[in-house]
């Protein structure tokens, strides 16, 4: 074996469970036809970007010289773009965020790695709340931290506060939350957020150092009921770092565009921001893609047609519960978290494959006994898949 | 001070010398008018992207659905894009590189950080040859290595092989070369490359482990004489990693698009590639910007109008040497490396400021007594700046 970084070899060799299922689906589609495969494995937006995206690209190419349009922006992002985003945040959430608190990134993953590399010191722990996006572990460990996991609250898939309190320690540097959540679709209620912030404030005081709250927010805009409120963390907790991405809201996941936002009241605001700039530099980001920075600044408040996801959610949730499956009701994102009718979710997923249903077992999200069903697919595919789900339910006598 | 990563705070706080000069220029331009300032500080392409770039963007938007165009590609890059690039490499350089040896990145900086994070183990040293791009130190140290610097060969600004041999040790994991070079514009000759590769082969054998050769190649296409050959490293040394970027060749520095290429004959080829994929994942890159991947695949072999840079080079080199300055003849890139007429290059740059000439002292490139003059500026500005250079020469009685 080559004398190189073995951790990186392992990270590049081990295929994720989701990717395995996706590849299986592609091979199976070649055998029996794409229309006969019901692939619910990937969290890849199925709704096109709104027309304003391509329209803005065209008008930028017409109205801005290529040297400026495709040229470097400052490392933290184009100033006008940061002004537009900070004003949008102020307008929508009333949060005290200025252009100098925004750092443009290559999407949510970059927002997270930059943030973690900025704040983590040797020996630190970063806390994730199960079920959670598996890459949190990769990002936290690569930044030099240990990931500490709070077991899932299997009642409402919000936060088990007793378990969280047991997980917090002097070593805790940050807690990551993801609301709306991947893989459950659950949105943390204002009450829950309030309780979380109060606990983190008390613990920060007790330990004599700040515990940062990292909000991983690629799904913020994907919420389906007017009654569902998604609190803006910077308004609730001064030491919040919002890691935003336009991947899902504008259906631009491949373009890698997002930002990090902190509030004016972040303790040591300038130092934290400098560390974010430093981490972006050290990781090799230079600047976020220049044209896409301008595009998203013109598309603030716009989204892809998320009505399709709402329709999919209602159709799937209502049908599957009718068939006897037990599902967490998703307030947002595009995932349905369904209880596996047998303890071993992987075994259940294997049985589902017999009906050409491709589901993801929950184990890699740090929580066993469930499956994730991504409904960022065509409504038509869901309709065609329902008889298969029905037969699967019957096999388990639900 | 906040209990966060102090190295990152420092990296984000200390402004680079080049940035300082650039900001000085902006302020001075407000005082006396942009046309009276001669800013030679930044390595930012001044020539627009060729028309095929915006044309390809338009045709991609017309002919490819937005879900595919703006959607995730695989982590290593879109397969068709990797096929196109590997075939272009095969055609132009005859190198044995396949689609499975190409990893698309967010530009040269990302190519370097991903490569370094893939190969560096604890205790490793990475060797840079002065003068060198200062971010190499940041990238190498953040990957966990120590940067060892080979002093400049002030004869021809190629490689001082005695000094290199003294710098190599059991700890050496990789040597970075940059040809055409920033800040000198020098291209390493085939003889020099041959000697380098022979030395690295011998030393790899002596130490019992491979020394990787990292070729930082953003300037490969910017070469001004037909007689100047830029050897393709993969043809010369099996353990070469080519870190390429389209930033300068297509004048797209803000779009962050490039790639890493290794050869089929790279020892442990699959393991190295896996480590590159793993490092990209751990640093948070996910995939290179999806639309720009397709754009560069359509623009292979095309460049911005580098004739402008050639004209600038000739005008500046001929004029400055005529005035009595001593300059390294640049074969490529868009930098002229000029000897400071006094020992302290910073003091010389201060004197140059009196004539509104903004030059970069060479110290931050690991070599004292020179200045870098970036000629990626308008030819007209150079013409207007020549009388100032002449007066400066006269002040030193050259």
How does DSSP classify residue B168? -
- pLDDT, mean over chain A: 96
Instruction: Give residue B162's pLDDT.
Output: 98
Instruction: Give residue B35's pLDDT.
Output: 93
Beta bridge partners of A357: A38
* Alpha helices by DSSP H, A143-226: 161-167, 190-207
Q: In what order do the strands lie in the sheet with A335-339?
A: A327-328, A335-339, A370-374, A360-361
Instruction: Give residue B33's pLDDT.
Output: 95
C-alpha distance across the termini of chain A, in Å: 51
What does the alpha-carbon distance between residue B385 and residue B356 come to, in Å, rounded to a whole number? Answer: 9
Q: Do residues A256 and B106 touch, judged by C-beta distance below 8 A?
A: yes
Whether A92 has a pLDDT exceeding 80, the answer reads: yes
Beta bridge partners of B177: B215
pLDDT band at A17 (very low <50, low <70, confident <90, very high): confident
Q: What is the pTM of this model?
A: 0.97
Cis before B183? omega within 30: yes
Instruction: Give residue A19's pLDDT.
Output: 79
Instruction: Give residue B235's pLDDT.
Output: 98
Q: What are the Cα distances from residue A149, in Å, to A198, A367, B24? A: 20, 10, 49
Kindly report the nearest CA distance between residue A69 and chain B, in angstroms. Answer: 8
Instruction: Give residue A168's pLDDT.
Output: 98
What does the alpha-carbon distance between residue A194 and residue A239 come to, in Å, rounded to a whole number? Answer: 14
Tell me which chain B residues have a C-beta less than 8 angstroms from the C-beta of A45: 67, 71
Long-range contacts of A391-398 (CB under 8 A, 24+ apart): A391/A355, A392/A351, A392/A352, A392/A355, A392/A357, A393/A320, A393/A323, A393/A324, A393/A325, A393/A341, A395/A351, A396/A324, A396/A341, A396/A342, A398/A323, A398/A324, A398/A325, A398/A341
Whether A15 has a pLDDT exceeding 80, the answer reads: no
Q: Which residue of B has its CA nearest to A292?
A: B255
Tell me which chain B residues have a C-beta less than 8 angstroms from the C-beta of A284: 106-107, 109-114, 139, 283
Here the ipTM equals 0.96
What does the alpha-carbon distance between residue B254 and residue A74 come to, in Å, rounded to a whole number? Answer: 9
What does the alpha-carbon distance between residue B314 and residue B383 come to, in Å, rounded to a whole number? Answer: 12
Residue ranges of chain B with pLDDT lower than 70?
A: none
What does the alpha-carbon distance between residue A115 and residue B8 come to, in Å, rounded to a whole number? Answer: 10
Q: Could you read off the pLDDT of B157-212 as tens digits, one per residue?
A: 999 999 999 999 999 999 999 999 999 999 999 999 999 999 999 999 999 999 99
Instruction: Give residue B19's pLDDT.
Output: 80
pLDDT band at A20 (very low <50, low <70, confident <90, very high): confident
Contact B70 A255 (CB under 8 A): yes
Q: Could you read off the pLDDT of A346-391 as tens digits, one per residue?
A: 999 999 999 999 999 999 999 999 999 999 999 999 999 999 999 9
Contact A252 B70 (CB under 8 A): yes
Tell me which chain A residues have a C-beta less than 8 angstroms from the C-beta of B8: 117-118, 274-276, 278-279, 282
Tell me which chain A residues have a C-beta less than 8 angstroms from the C-beta of B251: 66-67, 70-71
Kindly report the nearest CA distance between residue B323 and chain A, in angstroms. Answer: 32
What does the alpha-carbon distance between residue A52 and residue A296 come to, in Å, rounded to a whole number? Answer: 10
Closest by Cβ to B66, choosing from A48, A111, A290? A48
Closest by Cβ to B267, choosing from A2, A112, A273? A2
Whether A345 has a pLDDT exceeding 80, the answer reads: yes
Instruction: Give residue A222's pLDDT.
Output: 96
Nearest to A172, CA basis, from A211, A117, A214: A211
pLDDT band at A266 (very low <50, low <70, confident <90, very high): very high
Kindly report the nearest CA distance between residue A348 and chain B, in angstroms. Answer: 28
What does the alpha-carbon distance between residue B19 and residue A89 come to, in Å, rounded to a whole number? Answer: 30
Tell me which chain A residues have a C-beta less than 8 angstroms from the C-beta of B3: 121, 173, 209-210
Tell me which chain B residues have a C-beta less than 8 angstroms from the C-beta of A253: 70-72
Neighbours of A188 (CB within 10 A): 26
């Amino acid at each position: 074996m080559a004398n190189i970084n073995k951790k990186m070899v392992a990270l590049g060799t081990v295929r994720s469970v989701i990717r395995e299922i996706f590849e299986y689906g592609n091979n199976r589609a070649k055998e029996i036809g794409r229309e006969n495969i019901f692939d619910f494995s990937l969290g890849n937006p199925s709704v096109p970007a709104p027309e304003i995206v391509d329209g803005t690209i065209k008008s930028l190419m017409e109205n801005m010289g290529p040297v400026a349009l495709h040229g470097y922006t400052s490392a933290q992002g184009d100033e006008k773009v940061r002004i537009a985003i900070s004003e949008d945040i102020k307008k929508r959430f009333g949060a005290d965020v200025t252009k100098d608190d925004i750092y443009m990134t290559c999407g949510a993953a970059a927002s997270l790695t930059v943030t973690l590399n900025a704040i983590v010191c040797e020996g630190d722990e970063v806390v994730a709340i199960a079920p959670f996006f598996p890459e949190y572990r990769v990002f936290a460990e690569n930044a030099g931290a240990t990931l500490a996991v709070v077991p899932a609250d299997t009642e409402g898939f919000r936060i088990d506060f007793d378990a969280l309190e047991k997980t917090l320690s002097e070593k805790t540097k940050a807690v990551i939350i993801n609301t709306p959540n991947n893989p459950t679709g659950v949105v943390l209620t204002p009450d829950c957020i309030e309780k979380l912030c109060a606990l983190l404030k008390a613990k920060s005081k007790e330990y004599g150092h700040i515990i940062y709250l990292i909000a991983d927010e690629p799904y913020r805009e994907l919420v389906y009921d007017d009654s569902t409120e998604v609190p803006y963390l910077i308004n609730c907790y001064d030491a919040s770092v919002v890691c935003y991405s336009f991947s899902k809201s504008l259906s631009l996941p491949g373009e890698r565009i997002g930002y990090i936002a902190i509030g004016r009241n972040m303790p040591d605001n300038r130092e934290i921001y400098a560390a974010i700039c430093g981490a972006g530099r050290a990781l090799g980001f230079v600047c976020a893609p220049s044209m896409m920075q301008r595009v998203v600044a013109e598309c603030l408040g716009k989204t892809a047609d998320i009505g399709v996801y709402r329709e999919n959610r209602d159709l799937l949730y209502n049908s599957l519960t009718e068939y006897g499956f037990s599902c967490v009701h998703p307030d947002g994102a595009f995932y349905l978290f369904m209880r596996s009718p047998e303890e071993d979710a992987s075994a259940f997923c294997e049985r589902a494959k017999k009906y050409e249903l491709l589901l993801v077992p929950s184990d890699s999200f740090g929580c066993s006994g469930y499956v994730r069903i991504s409904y960022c697919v065509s409504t038509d595919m869901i309709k065609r898949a329902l008889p298969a789900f029905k037969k699967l339910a019957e096999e388990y006598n639900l």
